[in-house]
Amino acid sequence: MKRQAKVLFPTMKADGDDANENELAFKECQADIVQISDVETTFGNKTIVALHNDDLGDFQVFVNNKSMKNLVEALGEEDKSWIGKIINLTLEQDEKFKKNMIVLTPIK
């Protein structure tokens, strides 16, 4: 297996402020799904979707449960079928934790 250094995209965050090159403040937009991966964090394993938007470039978003439900219902359980699909990114308030969250919704 060939090994390469990973390309690190800035992470779009609901409360981000573009303060550094690794964070991107939320902007409502449409983007193409480029890649799906799982990463280990201090909070357990999380799914990240790498996205591309012509104005914003390449960035990534952590997939919350609401977004996962939207993706699976619209695009199926096999994440390979998500590649190349266009999604809307919106900001919603989590009802339980009362914090803003980025929600991914596929365009049908």
Handedness of CA 57, 65, 25, 106 (dihedral sign): positive
Task: Give the per-residue pLDDT at 81.
Answer: 94
For residues 1 and 83, which has the higher predicted lDDT (pLDDT)?
Answer: 83
Mean pLDDT of the chain: 89
Q: How confident is the model over 15-69, as pLDDT tens digits?
A: 866 667 788 989 999 999 999 999 888 888 999 999 999 999 999 999 999 999 9
Q: Name the pTM for this structure.
A: 0.85
For 38, which DSSP code?
E
CATH of the domain spanning 11-106, picked from 2.40.50, 3.30.70, 2.40.10, 2.60.40: 2.40.50
Amino acid type, 58 = D
Q: How confident is the model over 23-37, as pLDDT tens digits?
A: 898 999 999 999 999
